A and B are shown apart, each in its own frame.
Chain A
């Protein structure tokens, strides 16, 4: 069975600063994908970034980067230069051979002006 753990129920960050959202995972699949989604108060799930288990380099997408440490089974999301619009719930998810997405409980990020 696959499991995602996000130990930070809520995080605060000052505007323009960087923030790291933690994610650890557990799986027995040798190959898997890791995803981060953002869910603003409006409710839609927005895909942010993807990391493959065999990717040699950490993924980056604009202000988002993924700090992938395979041996530790962690896939932390780093948001640089936080903006007020980054305030939302953030979910870490994984997909293995079963091809369904397993989500963590989420972290609520609040960006302070």
Chain B
């Protein structure tokens, strides 16, 4: 397994355009997370999936953002009508569920998609 894979690595888009990012998690991981990270800050939680179910969404995830994980494998994050404030690194991570929702399962991160809105 090559780890968590994100595509594209970089995306430059004009304000108002829609963008879609893809994340392929580690194959046996049933949990998948999306985070946003701006320069010099820690990752901010956006949403997470257990298998195909989206279990939690942050208030940061406005109605312009939507995430899917249709078959419980890869996931997509779409941003509609992009704004300059959406410029950030978008990180995807995956983890095992562990036994009885154990707390000790670490997340493995992809290398991120850097979005620049001009």
**Which residues of chain A have a CB within 8 Å of any CB of chain B?**
4, 31-33, 35, 37, 42-45, 47, 50, 52-53, 91, 95-106
Contacts and interface: CB of A to CB of B under 8 A. Distances in A.
Given A43-B89, A44-B109, A45-B93, A103 B42 contact: yes
Contacts of B55: 99
Given A33-B103, A45-B91, A106-B40, 15 more contacts: A4-B42, A33-B104, A35-B107, A42-B111, A43-B111, A44-B111, A45-B107, A47-B107, A47-B108, A52-B104, A99-B48, A99-B50, A99-B55, A100-B33, A103-B45
A103 B103 CA distance: 15
A95 B104 CA distance: 8
A48 B15 CA distance: 38
- Which of B106, B110, B112 has the largest count of A CB atoms less than 10 A from its CB? B106
Interface in B96-118: 101, 103-104, 106-112
Chain B, interface size category, equals 20 to 34
B28 interface: no
A100 B48 contact: yes
Contacts of B110: 44
6 contacts: A33-B103, A45-B93, A97-B101, A99-B56, A100-B56, A101-B45
B41 A105 contact: yes
